[in-house]
Copies of this chain bind each other. A is one copy, B any other.
């Protein structure tokens, strides 16, 4: 199943040049997963036509406002729109302490529950699992406890090759046998081994989200080979000192991580308010990792 990513906001904390702040929606297997939730996210969900009835899980990387201030508005709007399916917020425990009193005050007639699924951002652990997908934390290095999220589709089973089934004119009973791993016995007594009919599964897909963080090589084993990596690139190399001071990455840092982790595609975002034009950051990253794109507001990526 395809992964589709919508970028709701690519700016960092201070508004600039019409960019919204961090929020993305990953869609796969009929579900929408919201990753971070800055101020204005409810407007961005609407503007980008995200079906919020399919949005049941929100993942919050860390407790800086440009990653979580939009939560109360999203919850309140869901409540006013008479949502009735529960909403799961995956975050570190402090969020619940801050958000619950607001929910209690502003959303008194809510017809759904907000369920906090607390995790420790400093540990690499699986924090979500359904039939098709797992999500694990990617511990990052930022000014406050922070982690990214690795979304992995589950390995799929091998499947039957339709053209072979047609060629051998396989019937219902024989199909069942093949699915159970048995061989095909033809009417003339010939045996066609099971392997002849099986095709390897479509490769499982993956997405790694890494914001906010300074360069941290130890994330590479976790995100190794990801189909797509979003890595923050708040600064360009000309602001290396500022990146170090604020524990953010440069575009070069993001590209080095992408290269080292052998990912297929790199998206950069979380751009500082000082950059009106982002092409220099893109060029900086592409000089190291050619398959890089700017994850700017409103863009979609599919793989």
Contacts and interface: CB of A to CB of B under 8 A. Distances in A.
A189 to B, nearest CB: 68
Contact of A43 (B15, B63, B76, B106): B15
Interface string A46-84: 110000000000000001110001101100110011000
A132 interface: no
A46 B15 contact: yes
A3 to B, nearest CB: 26
A20 B45 CA distance: 13
Given A40-B39, A46-B15, A69-B72, A105 B94 contact: yes
A47 to B, nearest CB: 7
A16 interface: yes
Give the oligomeric copy count: 2
Interface in A8-56: 13-16, 18, 20, 39-40, 42-43, 45-47
A70 B38 CA distance: 11
A102 interface: yes
Choose among A14, A47, A73 the residue with the greatest number of B CB atoms under 10 Å from its CB.
A73
Contacts of A171: none
B15 A77 contact: yes
State which size class the interface on A falls in.
Answer: 20 to 34
A69 B73 contact: yes
Interface in A92-135: 94, 98, 101-102, 105-106
Given A76-B13, A102-B98, A105-B98, A43 B40 contact: yes
Interface of A: 13-16, 18, 20, 39-40, 42-43, 45-47, 63-65, 69-70, 72-73, 76-77, 80-81, 94, 98, 101-102, 105-106
